[in-house]
C-alpha cells in the first residue's frame, strides 16, 4: 500500500540545510495500521506529507498504491491522492460555507465515489444525525473533527493518514474521537498511519514506529 525506501528529506532554512529524514524505510500493507510517534520537530508531519505526495523526497523512493510518487506529474499525484487517500489533520480544515452533509460528501464527490447510503451510515456512526444542515461553525470541536474523519473516509480510501488528529481537542473528547476513528478504520478495512503521542492510541495498532533524529526505529510503547 505504502512503501518508503531509503528516503532522505532536508529543508533549507536561513541557518542552512536541516536534515529532517535520514534513510527512512517502511512498508505498510493493505489494511495494516501503524502509529508514528516522536518528539515535536522529529519529522512526523514531513513523513506524512511525503506519504501523501504533497512533497517529494530528496533521495529514495516512495510508492503509494504501487506507483512511484516522484515519477508522476503533480496532476497525477493529486488524482492518486483523491482516489486512494484520506487525510485528517490537527486543524479540521472543513469548508465553512458548506453544510455538514456537503462537507461529508465533498471528497467522495471529487473522487466520483459519492454514495448516499454510505454517507447516511457515516453520519449516523459519527453521531451527526440531525445536524446535516448545520455549518461547521455550529458544531463543537469534537463534532468538527468527527466530520473531518467522515469526509476522509467517505470515498472509501485505501489508506488513511492522520496527523495528530485529536491535538486540538480536550482529553475526553480526544479519546472518543480516536476510538471512533479506529472503529471506522476497522469497518472500512483501510490501512492507517496515525501520528500520535498517546501510547493508548498506539497500543491496539499493528505496529508502532518512532522517529528519532530523523531515523525510524520500531518502538516498545512506553
What is the distance between the alpha carbons of residues 215 and 23, in angstroms, rounded to a whole number?
7
Contact 64, 56 (CB under 8 A): no
Q: According to the binding rule CB under 5 A, does residue 5 interact with Mg ion?
A: no
For residue 16, the minimal CB distance to ligand ADP (Å) is: 11
Strand order in the sheet with 215-218: 85-88, 159-163, 191-195, 33-37, 207-212, 215-218
The least distance separating ligand ADP from the CB of residue 211, rounded to whole angstroms, comes to: 7
Which residues here bind ligand ADP, judged by CB under 6 A? 11, 13, 18, 20, 38, 40-46
| One of 23, 45, 168, 215 touching Mg ion (CB under 5 A) | 45
Nearer to Mg ion, 6 or 91 (CB): 91
Residue (103 or 196) nearer to ligand ADP, CB: 196
Question: In 3D, which of 147, 195, 143 has the Cα closest to residue 167?
Answer: 195
Q: What are phi and psi of 84, to 5 degrees?
A: -115, -25
Which residue number, 18 or 76, has a Cβ lying nearer to ligand ADP? 18
Binding segment for Mg ion (CB under 5 A), chosen from 12-20, 41-49, 144-152, 203-211, is 41-49
Of 49 and 156, which CB lies nearer to ligand ADP in the complex structure? Answer: 49
Least Å distance, CB 42 to ligand ADP, is: 4
> CB 169 → Mg ion: shortest distance, Å?
16
Helix/strand/coil for 133:
coil
Residue 158 CB, shortest distance to ligand ADP, in Å, is 23
Contact status: 215 vs Mg ion (CB under 5 A):
no
CA distance 134 to 126: 14
Give the list of residues 6+ apart from residue 161 with CB closer than 8 angstroms, or none. 48, 51, 52, 85, 86, 87, 88, 193, 194
Binding footprint of Mg ion on the chain (CB under 5 A): 44-45
Amino acid at each position: 500500500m505504502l512503501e518508503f525506501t531509503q528516503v532522505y528529506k532536508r529543508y533549507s532554512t536561513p541557518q542552512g540545510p536541516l536534515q529532517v529524514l535520514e534513510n527512512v524505510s517502511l512498508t505498510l500493507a493493505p489494511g495494516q495500521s501503524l502509529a508514528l510517534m516522536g518528539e515535536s520537530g522529529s519529522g512526523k508531519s514531513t513523513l506524512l506529507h511525503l506519504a501523501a505526495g504533497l512533497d517529494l523526497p530528496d533521495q529514495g523512493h516512495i510508492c503509494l498504491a504501487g506507483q512511484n510518487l516522484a515519477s508522476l506529474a503533480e496532476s497525477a499525484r493529486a488524482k492518486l491522492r483523491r482516489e486512494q487517500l484520506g487525510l485528517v489533520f490537527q486543524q479540521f480544515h472543513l469548508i465553512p460555507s458548506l453544510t455538514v452533509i456537503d462537507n461529508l460528501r465533498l471528497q467522495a464527490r471529487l473522487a466520483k465515489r459519492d454514495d448516499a447510503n454510505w454517507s447516511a451510515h457515516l453520519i449516523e456512526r459519527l453521531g451527526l444525525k440531525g445536524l446535516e444542515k448545520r455549518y461547521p461553525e455550529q458544531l463543537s470541536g469534537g463534532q468538527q473533527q468527527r466530520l473531518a474523519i467522515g469526509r476522509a473516509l467517505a470515498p472509501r480510501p485505501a489508506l488513511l493518514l492522520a496527523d495528530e488528529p485529536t491535538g486540538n481537542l480536550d482529553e475526553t473528547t480526544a479519546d472518543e474521537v480516536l476510538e471512533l476513528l479506529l472503529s471506522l478504520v476497522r469497518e472500512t478495512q483501510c490501512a492507517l498511519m496515525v501520528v500520535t503521542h498517546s501510547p493508548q492510541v498506539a497500543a491496539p495498532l499493528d505496529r508502532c514506529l518512532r522517529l528519532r533524529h530523523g531515523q525510524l526505529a520500531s518502538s516498545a510503547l512506553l
